[in-house]
Amino acid sequence: MTTDADEFPEIRESVRRLCARFPGEYWRALDRDRAYPTEFVAALTESGFLSVLIPEEYGGSGLGLGAATAILEEIHRSGCNGGACHAQMYTMGTILRHGSPAQKQACLPGIAEGTLRLQAFGVTEPTSGTDTTRIRTFARREGDRYVVNGQKVWISRAEHSDLMLLLCRTTAREDAARPTDGMSVLLVDMRRAVGNGLTIRPIRTMINHATTELFFDNLEVPAENLVGEEGKGFRYILDGMNAERILIASECIGDARFFIDRASAYAKEREVFGRPIGANQGIQFPIARNHVETEAANLMVRKAAALFDSGQPCGTEANMAKLLASEASWHAADTCLQTHGGFGFAEEYDIERKFRETRLYQVAPISTNLILSHVGTHVLGLPKSF
């Protein structure tokens, strides 16, 4: 088994150099103002990191998910945050795998060069939560267009996207043969939609994640913007969801290593009663446990990414990777804050910001309880839980 340092070392080093240009002061200012990291996203785009999964024929690097996980891990380990743009990596996969030649040519080169942003992924709704089969947003076909009505919530980066992939019903759930049938994916041009049937309302949250709710009121979408076949949208987004969970798991690994790095350094330097606090087992052992937990979680992340890249089923592995990595990062965050004591709450150490950011992944994009339910019922064959 190779080590992380052996996998994509040049990419990792390039990411670290880029992130050094965006130190803690940059992120603190954005966090206070709830601002979008435009300069950071532009730098990642110009360096080709956000187009790593786009084939070379469309201007990307044509690399696999393993390379993408290395990029996001290093971003987060460096103290930066990839949440503002990570969707640009995986959302385009639906178009790449299921879009028409015209849609691929119209979107992918622009995404690769940074003239188009596809960062919004419209799935979750207020009444459905993570039970995607119960979404109510409906697209009615009228001639050469679809007319969309409904609502979405917890849609990140909608205000900073040119395009959005929208999952909606084209057949009512009760009229479909199966609950997963009757859903379709539409490619929405946000530049034309806002103010013409689409309203975006920001939601203030404990972290700077540009989260919004969307309202559709007779929004017209050209029928040519249908991705794939009508009614098969649910299966189209599954691969994107697996990629999303694996990539976010890699961000959690980066967060965990950020916290372990900071806690270890502080425990070596901080002296109380004439010796480093890291000499105390009460400080040393939790940090060591965090390292063990993170290394174990990382193995599952790498396994899931390898399965994805080889085209094998990886839904369970993607879910388990996300659960293990998110818990490792959260435990490391708690240890790091405890190690720093009162200083951990000070903005200048960047720990409280990262502490808030990594807590999100216990809940999103899928909660740990739903992952456990998936493993219990689909892997272990236990009765469906309620």
pLDDT at position 239 is 79
CATH code of the domain in which 55 resides: 1.10.540.10
List the alpha helices (DSSP H) in 209-314.
Answer: 233-269, 281-309
Give me the numbers of helices (H) and strands (E) for the chain, helices first please: 13, 10
The reply to whether 385 falls in a domain is no
> Torsion angle, CA of 256/262/267/269, rounded to 10 degrees?
160
DSSP structural state of residue 383 = P
- Residues 241, 203, single domain; the answer is no
- Residues 221, 343, single domain; the answer is no
How far apart are alpha carbons 78 and 236 in whole angstroms? 34
The reply to whether 174 falls in a domain is yes
The reply to whether 290 falls in a domain is yes
In the block, residue with structure tokens 């899928």 = 366
Which one of 95, 113, 131 terminates a domain?
Answer: 113
- Residues 178, 210, single domain; the answer is yes
How far apart are alpha carbons 375 and 321 in whole angstroms? 12
Angle 351-359/315-340 helices, nearest 10 degrees? 150
Q: Is the model's pTM score more than 0.85?
A: yes
The reply to whether 316 falls in a domain is yes
The reply to whether 23 falls in a domain is yes
Parent domain of 333:
235-379
Query: In the numeric block, which tokens belong to residue 341?
Result: 């004591």
List, for residues 107-158, the tens digit of each pLDDT value: 999 999 999 999 999 999 999 877 899 999 999 999 999 999 999 999 999 9
pLDDT at position 101 is 97
Q: How many domains does the chain divide into? A: 3
- Residues 327, 351, single domain; the answer is yes
pLDDT at position 3 is 62
Question: Does residue 381 register a pLDDT over 60?
Answer: yes
pLDDT at position 380 is 96
- Residues 109, 126, single domain; the answer is no
| Contact between 160 and 118 (Cβ < 8 Å) | no
Question: Does residue 106 register a pLDDT over 60?
Answer: yes
Q: 126, 241, 93: which is closest to 180 by C-alpha?
A: 241
List, for residues 181-206, the tens digit of each pLDDT value: 999 999 999 999 999 999 999 999 99
- Residues 316, 352, single domain; the answer is yes
Which one of 72, 92, 113 terminates a domain?
Answer: 113
Which one of 211, 231, 251 terminates a domain?
Answer: 231
- Which residues have CB under 8 Å from 65's CB, separation 6+? 53, 243, 246, 247, 305, 308, 309
